[in-house]
């Protein structure tokens, strides 16, 4: 089995890379857990407007330890701060924003992503955490759906597959995947390789991917800072 641990990106670095593609002024929902890190890495001169399913729009960075106001939380029950112009609204109104197509981007985690854009990102295991939550609405309500994930499972098995084996969150909904090794777009039912770590060959990357990586034009180096 190929040992990727010395070269692969950290979760923070994957989140940083995904943040670079969020346009200024975009309305964005970040999935619970790992995807929440994306909010830390907004490029200078750009400002995203973050939405949370429990009814807040325009929240800011997490407060410092000891300064939390536990009446102000996101959907993952983590403390947030407010920016000028932040808004509160009913849970039903929040989902009306999602279902009405008012979000530009949703960035979610994944257990599996299929080459046709199918997504499996919720657990049916013991305790059922994370449960599906609002993800089924997000993947079909947001104008663009991206996934951030380690390239393989903890056992070294591929997470990018020909078809998902776990219960689906959404069908044909993902358009871009940011992994610990590469960036791929999903086009015409295939994973199209756009960027990869310069320290891994295309052949080695293919060996840890469960579907064919299609190459259309030059593949850029995936270069991220230490964050």
- Give the CA-trace dihedral at 189, 180, 44, 23, to 10 degrees: 10
Q: How far apart are CA 5 and CA 153, in angstroms?
A: 12
| Residues with Cβ within 8 Å of residue 145, at least 6 apart in sequence | 105, 106, 107, 108, 119, 138, 139, 170, 173, 174, 175
Q: Which of 53, 67, 187, 195 is catalytic?
A: 53
Cα–Cα distance between 51 and 156 in angstroms, integer? 34
Does the annotation mark 36 as catalytic? no
Between the CA atoms of 131, 137, 143 and 148, what dihedral angle is there, to the nearest 10 degrees? Answer: 0
**34 SS3 class:** helix
Whole-angstrom distance, CA of residue 143 vs CA of residue 154: 31
The two structure tokens encoding residue 9: 């990106």
Catalytic residue numbers, as ranges? 53
């Amino acid at each position: 089995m190929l040992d990727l641990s010395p070269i692969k990106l950290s979760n923070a670095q994957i989140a940083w890379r995904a943040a670079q593609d969020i346009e200024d002024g975009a309305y964005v929902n970040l999935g619970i857990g790992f995807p929440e890190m994306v909010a830390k890495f907004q490029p200078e001169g750009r400002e995203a407007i973050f939405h949370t399913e429990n009814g807040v729009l325009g929240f800011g960075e997490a407060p410092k330890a000891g300064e939390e106001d536990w009446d102000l939380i996101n959907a993952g029950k983590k403390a947030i701060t407010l920016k000028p112009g932040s808004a509160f609204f009913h849970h039903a109104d929040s989902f009306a924003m999602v279902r009405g197509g008012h979000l530009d981007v949703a960035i979610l985690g994944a257990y599996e992503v299929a080459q046709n854009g199918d997504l499996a990102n919720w657990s049916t295991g013991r305790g059922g955490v994370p449960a599906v939550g609002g993800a089924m609405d997000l993947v079909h309500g947001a104008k663009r759906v991206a996934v951030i994930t380690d390239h393989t499972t903890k056992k070294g098995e591929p997470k990018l597959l020909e078809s998902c084996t776990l219960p689906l969150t959404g069908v044909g909904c993902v358009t871009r995947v940011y992994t610990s090794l590469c960036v791929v777009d999903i086009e015409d039912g295939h994973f199209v390789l756009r960027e990869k770590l310069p320290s891994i060959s295309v052949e080695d990357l293919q060996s840890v991917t469960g579907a064919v990586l299609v190459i259309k034009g030059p593949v850029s180096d995936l270069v991220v800072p230490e964050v």
